[in-house]
Amino acid sequence: MDTLDANEAAELLHMQPKRVRILAREGKLPAMRVGRRWLFRRGDLESALRPRPATSPAGLDLSARNRLRGRVVEMRIDGLMAELVLDIGGQELDSVITRSSAERLGLRVGAQVLAVIKSTEVMIGREE
C-alpha cells in the first residue's frame, strides 16, 4: 500500500498542505490519522482526481426532470442570441439561448440535443 503524508498528498493534488489537512479533518478527502499525522492512500487520491461518470440516464446531473430529446431543425444567430427550433417527436419547440452557449455546445442544424424544461425556462444540453 502506497501511503503519502500531507505534504506529498498536497503535491499530488496541487494544493497547500494546510488545505489538505483541513479537507481531511472535514472528511472531504479520504485519509487516516496516525497520532498527529494525516496519511493518505495514493490510490484513493488518484481515484478522486478521475472524472466521475454521469449519474443520470441522460448523462446530465440536473434537478430538472423534464428532458426531451430532439434535433435542431433551424438555427438563427443574431448578435448575442441564438434562436433554436427543435423537432421533438414531430412537434416543434423554440428556444432562445445565448450565442456563446450555442457555440460552446457546438450546435448546428441536425445536432441531437436535450431540451430541459423547468418552470418557464427551456435549457438546451448536448451529450458528448
Residue 77 Cα to chain centre, angstroms? 26
Query: What is the pLDDT at residue 13?
Result: 87
C-alpha cell of residue 57: 440516464
Residue 28 included in any domain: yes
Do residue 25 and residue 70 come from a single domain? no
pLDDT, tens digit, 9 for 90 and up, residues 83-95: 999 998 889 999 9
Residue 38 included in any domain: yes
Q: What is the domain count for the chain?
A: 2
pLDDT, tens digit, 9 for 90 and up, residues 12-69: 888 899 999 998 998 888 899 999 899 999 988 887 777 554 444 555 566 666 778 8
User: The domain containing residue 22 runs over which residues?
Assistant: 3-49
The domain that holds 75 is classified in CATH as: 2.40.50.100
pLDDT, tens digit, 9 for 90 and up, residues 108-124: 999 999 888 877 767 77
C-alpha cell of residue 99: 450565442
Residue 58 included in any domain: no
Residues 6+ apart with CB under 8 A from 81: 96, 97, 98, 99
Given the C-alpha cell 448536448, which residue does it identify? Answer: 126
Name the β-bridge partners of 33: 38
